[in-house]
Amino acid sequence: MTKEFFGIGSHKELQKVLLQEKPRKIFLVVGKEAYEKSGVQAAFSPMLKGFEVLEFSEFEENPKIEDVQKGIAAFRSFQPDLVLACGGGSALDMAKSINALAVQEGDPLDFVLKKKEITHQSKPLVAVPTTAGTGAEATHFAVVYMGKIKYSLAHRFILPTYSIVDPQFTFSLPAKITASTGMDALAQAIESFWSNKSTEESKAYAREAILLILPNLAAAVNTPTPEARGAMSKGAHLAGKAINISFTTACHAISYPLTSYFGVPHGHAVALTLPSMILFNSEADEQSLNDSRGVVYVKKAMAELVNLFGARDGREAKEKLEQLMDEIHLERRLSRLGVRAEEDVNLIVENGFNPERVKNNPRILTIEALRLILKEIT
């Protein structure tokens, strides 16, 4: 279980964490720009005085295995007692992967490729998000790209020991990043709600996340107030807790090639198929059902989800999502994001049809159905 601190000013809790853990050496993993601009550096620098700190920020967005390997080398020669990760999803995932893999025996690649299992617990990790999006501070998995292919490390040892979610650190986020990371949080909450692996607990987190994000995302993007930012931070954190149990589904699976081949930011990429998928899943029937809890259960869950949007049916919920994307200025057409030719669509279908993620979708998503969905938004 992660020990969680939440709220404006909660960053001060780092002091207590340091008193509790008594580290001598701290491995600080930060997204360089975010660390400074978010205000984390100014807030944490005084608290980090007196500790031996090694800062690692040599990585790009969407964590790459080469960068994880660099981090592992730095970690091993420094031998820290604690890892402090501050930044967006990439920085947090980077820290989680480095911390977990640095103490395993063997080639890090073998763990990413699932040839070997994580067996050793690593150092305590404190995760401090500077976006309201991925919820990476609340999950036991981490994304790693090898070339254009996305892999996921998953183990209970990857779950952060502490999370400090201070909405204050998101106050200076540009509108564009607020929009895409906010849609990641919303997609994670929605996908978690309809996931085959959902539980009553994950649904409670997802429900609360949706009810926080829906009325606050447009305000956080266009006319940010501390209240809207606070609601987004809380919603994103809860959505992270929800997918930590239920995992994500089709929209996430389809999104990865859009990010790696076409450079669409993660949150924007998952948002693209979200409106179509809410309609698609709300039309699940006996023949197309994927969830062992049965058609009555899925129909009821989808009706509740649609209701959370204040919509009457899947089509109206789809329209509301499209409106929201327009309000926060996220392009909805694939053709305007560089996906034009038939071969581009083939690339997405071939690489986005991850059987494990698609399997979590409550309605069977065939390649043909996915093609139709992509065609509709091209």
CB nearer to Fe ion: give 11 or 268. 268
User: In the complex, what is the shortest distance from the CB of residue 313 to Fe ion, in angstroms, rounded to a whole number?
Assistant: 26
Maximum Cα–Cα distance across the chain: 64
Q: Which of 15, 11, 7 is nearest to 35 (CA)?
A: 11
Cα-Cα-Cα-Cα torsion 219, 269, 90, 136, nearest 10 degrees, comes to: 70
User: In the complex, what is the shortest distance from the CB of residue 326 to Fe ion, in angstroms, rounded to a whole number?
Assistant: 21
Question: In terms of C-beta density within 10 A (0-12 exposed, 13-18 middle, 19 or more buried), how is residue 86 classed?
Answer: buried
Q: Report 49-78 residues binding Fe ion (CB under 5 A).
A: none
- Asked if 191 touches Fe ion (CB under 5 A), the answer is no
User: In the complex, what is the shortest distance from the CB of residue 193 to Fe ion, in angstroms, rounded to a whole number?
Assistant: 14
CA 158 – CA 96 distance, rounded (Å): 6
CB nearer to Fe ion: give 183 or 231. 183
CB nearer to Fe ion: give 137 or 184. 184
Could you give phi then psi for residue 199, rounded to 5 degrees? -130, 175
User: In the complex, what is the shortest distance from the CB of residue 79 to Fe ion, in angstroms, rounded to a whole number?
Assistant: 32
Q: Are strands 82-87 and 25-30 parallel, antiparallel or unpaired?
A: parallel
* Count of residues of this chain found to bind Fe ion when the rule CB under 5 A is applied: 1
User: In the complex, what is the shortest distance from the CB of residue 199 to Fe ion, in angstroms, rounded to a whole number?
Assistant: 19
Q: What b/e string do you get for 206-217 counting C-beta neighbours within 10 Å, with b at 16 or more? A: bbbbbebbbebb
Contacts of 86 (CB under 8 A, 6+ apart): 28, 29, 30, 31, 34, 35, 38, 40, 44, 128, 129, 130, 169
CB nearer to Fe ion: give 90 or 276. 90
CB nearer to Fe ion: give 10 or 281. 281
User: In the complex, what is the shortest distance from the CB of residue 138 to Fe ion, in angstroms, rounded to a whole number?
Assistant: 12
User: In the complex, what is the shortest distance from the CB of residue 242 to Fe ion, in angstroms, rounded to a whole number?
Assistant: 12
Residue 118, number of CB atoms within 10 A of its CB: 17
CB nearer to Fe ion: give 216 or 248. 248
CB nearer to Fe ion: give 166 or 184. 184
CB nearer to Fe ion: give 186 or 373. 186
The count of C-alpha atoms lying within 13 angstroms of the C-alpha of 133, restricted to the half-sphere facing its C-beta, is 31
User: In the complex, what is the shortest distance from the CB of residue 252 to Fe ion, in angstroms, rounded to a whole number?
Assistant: 6
The site string for Fe ion over 161-190 (x = CB under 5 A, - otherwise) reads -----------------------x------
Binding site for Fe ion (CB under 5 A): 184
